[in-house]
Chains A and B, each alone.
Chain A
């Protein structure tokens, strides 16, 4: 088949709906990636404008431009927007766009989830901007320490907007992370074993797992603080057995990995771009992967370095100080690995390379000041001064923004199909990077002279005037530079002339197709036998386009791609992707009501919306699967594979597995909070512990046994040619008994606002109630699917999904109830 004929067959199958409607129904990673990128850029602009307001305010002493009430909103929103609404969404957007092409597959694992995640982000972050315009933006600083952020320090709705708005945006981050993990592990070109993956995919796999393990503590913290604000459950109020420090632990358990979550995608971009610009391959691929993994692991061991001044014992500080300096080693490995790569090749100073040089200069300084503040006595002096502000901007701007600009220029041909023609980018670089250094070198200096962060103005005569004026002038030069970058990218993307395929001579598969990448991303799924298939096999693009890879002929006229084995990349299944759908958009809108209604204390509306989300998720899942057995499908190249609805581990099972990983971290964080309050909070123990009695534990154990056995029985009966319903009913009954045990606990402690102990028990039993209920609903839903003909002895994968969720509910339920019952036994 000729390339053009294949394109004409594939494109109608994969194309999004035309016109305005298409914006809301598209599930294509190219479309979503692009609007995601543009939205994130818009938030970079908004955050940047706030930054300019801050520098205008601080340019002169005793400034009357903004009062503290406004200034506090401005700096809180600057930090919040840059961290949550720009940095994370921006690299997610880039990943959504690039990953399928790089991996040689046709879309991300869950196309509708990409759309849902984007709309959650869009609605949540727009809400926060509306709050800013209306003057009710949060004002407690981006890390929102209680009690200042609780009802004592922040009456009214601003803090609620932060807690609920950010939690909502994190739904999007978790969605994207699940999607990226499953895509990288299961959806690749044939033969692309883990050690042949593009390095960027490795980095994004690490980042996605980090998101799944780092965001839950923060989501839990926000939930607890919102419960305290709304219902007086005193998690952070010391008088009732809470402790303000609990928030700091939960927040920085998220907040430190967050820094590496932002840095690693940028490092992945550098590891991809830099070797291409040096016309060589990355030095020490295995070492770089190992460095990224160890960075991720270590980053979870150093959250306390944000809390050196909270009075933690010096031995504890020694441990965290050691971990904080140790984390510089894998960073060093990457930096020297990159320089070694440059020595190995013939580096050329194209524009992406120029920005990478900006990254080197800036990030190395940021890393060195980072090591300085990991030294405890030094941090005691500079903590909460402008020195910290300067350090974090060196790390985040140098370590994220500059490499991301390099990435945008490098991949611009993939987005637009055009080659860069207008040469504003170089001018922009020479404004932004020197402007940045003038600004933040000065800010370091102000911090060393004792200027505190977050003060709206300062008195003259302390030697800070000239420094701040220099910083402000530098910052405006930098802002002009960034503005020029945006203009330059926009006009080059829109009106520059068409370019040729693979202009940089790169080795990875995103350059193997026509540019910009078509709706189906890759015309057929190639067999890959090296890390740089475009280098080892120059004819590969033509053979892909002629349909000589897997699934090269769309005989079944539906959206199909290949699922491969995780380690070796052997083809395993033919996955059928869903059609364009407005359900993700509608569901995001309804989900937003869950998060927005509590701001106005409309709890009934919140429950109505939650019910709506449940109904919509059923609608979402209903269209998947098949009502008849398809048997072995022709996958091209003479290979026959089963459809993904006729295997034990369908995509939904993989997605559930990683969603439950995040869920388990949330649960673990709740247990950590319980143990922390128990041991550290001053007003413990509570007046009385719950007495478990006999009925509750018996119900829980009996229910657990049934809930474990039911889904297993159902699967055995179905695969033996029988109906699965008895097993599912049994499982649902078991889950019901587990729920009853939780209700008994809550009835025994009727007032969750009495003491942090009561509040914690409510949260734990509420958690179990929710998960057991969810698994029971899933059991009922699968029964309905069975009645509608979606189950057969070959199509039993959905039962595995139910079993996974039921097992999880039982496991966490037993642990939570044990933690609730045990203290009462001892008294």
Chain B
């Protein structure tokens, strides 16, 4: 869905950019317009009130409403089959905990069930980091003392690459993790397994 947002915004931007460039180019092609008070007032109406205020407001208003609606749809909502996991970042590792298996901690690998909504409760122990699995959701910061909740959902079982997305010092580049989405059997198996 964010991909569609991007393509629509790109198309709109190209159109606006083209419009501005054409207007700019025409200014060099056409002869100077009439001068005088009345002509200037007419120009102010066209260029400033019309294009500057009217056009800008219309485009931006539409985009804003649409963007906010899209954002609402991405927010966590109550769901019956919700799974909750915990992500704790430090320099430079991720520890993941599971509400369904309280003793279990996995380092740098997050296990989730595919096809079910998952709430990731994100925090950090030292400096600020950010939890980002590009193919599953946007990023959300891991801040010491705060817990931020991100809703993710993997449609297909498989492995998804995750990275920390807030600069955190010399080990930042390799501060990465993997998300493994299990099918229902695999997930039950993971939860039931003894802690290592």
Chain A residues in contact with chain B, CB under 8 A?
68-69, 72, 139-141, 145-148, 152-153, 238-239, 243-245, 278-280, 283-284, 287, 291, 309-311, 314, 317-318, 321-322, 325-326, 328-329, 331-337, 339-340, 342-347, 349, 357, 360-361, 364-365, 368-369, 371-372, 374-381, 383-385, 448, 450, 452-458, 681-683
Interface residue from A68, A364, A375 paired with B67 (Cβ < 8 Å):
A375
The distance from the CB of B101 to the nearest CB of chain A, in whole angstroms, is 25
Q: Which residues of A contact B61 (CB under 8 A)?
A: 325
The answer to the question of B192 belonging to the interface, with a C-beta cut-off of 8 Å to chain A, is: no
Known: A68-B172, A336-B51. 14 other contacts (CB 8 A): A145-B127, A153-B168, A243-B145, A283-B44, A291-B52, A332-B53, A339-B23, A344-B40, A346-B32, A349-B28, A368-B13, A378-B2, A380-B74, A381-B139
Q: Which residues of A contact B173 (CB under 8 A)?
A: 68, 455-458
- Chain A residue nearest to B50 (CB atoms) is A336
- Chain A residue nearest to B1 (CB atoms) is A377
Structural contact, A339 and B145, CB atoms closer than 8 A: no
- Chain A residue nearest to B127 (CB atoms) is A148
A311 to B23, CA, bound (A): 42
18 contacts between A and B (CB under 8 A): A141-B167, A145-B127, A239-B145, A279-B32, A332-B56, A336-B55, A340-B47, A342-B27, A357-B24, A368-B17, A371-B63, A375-B5, A377-B71, A377-B74, A379-B138, A381-B134, A450-B134, A681-B145
Structural contact, A375 and B9, CB atoms closer than 8 A: yes
A318 to B24, CA, bound (A): 34
- A335 touching B52 in the complex, CB below 8 Å, given contacts A68-B172, A375-B63, A377-B67: yes
Contact bitstring B88-99, A, C-beta under 8 A = 1, else 0: 000100000000
- Chain A residue nearest to B12 (CB atoms) is A368
Interface residue from B47, B74, B170 paired with A336 (Cβ < 8 Å):
B47
Q: Which residues of A contact B137 (CB under 8 A)?
A: 380
* Most chain B C-beta atoms within 10 Å of own C-beta, residue among A321, A325, A326: A325
Structural contact, A72 and B163, CB atoms closer than 8 A: no
Structural contact, B126 and A152, CB atoms closer than 8 A: yes
Structural contact, A147 and B127, CB atoms closer than 8 A: yes
Q: Which residues of A contact B13 (CB under 8 A)?
A: 365, 368-369, 371-372
Structural contact, B27 and A311, CB atoms closer than 8 A: no
Q: Which residues of B contact A280 (CB under 8 A)?
A: 32, 35
- Chain A residue nearest to B21 (CB atoms) is A361
How many A-B residue pairs lie within 8 Å, measured between CB atoms? 233
Interface residue from B57, B67, B139 paired with A329 (Cβ < 8 Å):
B57
Structural contact, A380 and B139, CB atoms closer than 8 A: yes
The answer to the question of B185 belonging to the interface, with a C-beta cut-off of 8 Å to chain A, is: no
Structural contact, B52 and A68, CB atoms closer than 8 A: no
The distance from the CB of A435 to the nearest CB of chain B, in whole angstroms, is 20
A321 to B61, CA, bound (A): 11
Interface residue from B51, B139, B166 paired with A332 (Cβ < 8 Å):
B51
A309 to B131, CA, bound (A): 10
The answer to the question of B79 belonging to the interface, with a C-beta cut-off of 8 Å to chain A, is: no
Interface residue from A139, A152, A278, A378 paired with B127 (Cβ < 8 Å):
A152
Chain B residues in contact with chain A, CB under 8 A?
1-2, 5-6, 9, 13, 16-17, 20-21, 23-24, 26-28, 30-33, 35, 39-40, 43-44, 46-48, 51-53, 55-57, 60-61, 63-64, 67-68, 70-72, 74-75, 91, 126-128, 130, 134, 137-141, 143-146, 148-149, 163, 165-173
Structural contact, B145 and A310, CB atoms closer than 8 A: no
- Chain A residue nearest to B6 (CB atoms) is A378
- Chain B residue nearest to A333 (CB atoms) is B52
Q: Which residues of A contact B130 (CB under 8 A)?
A: 309, 383-384
Structural contact, B43 and A364, CB atoms closer than 8 A: no
Structural contact, B126 and A147, CB atoms closer than 8 A: yes
A364 to B18, CA, bound (A): 10
Q: Which residues of B contact A682 (CB under 8 A)?
A: 145-146
The distance from the CB of A353 to the nearest CB of chain B, in whole angstroms, is 10
- A72 touching B169 in the complex, CB below 8 Å, given contacts A238-B144, A314-B75, A380-B139: yes
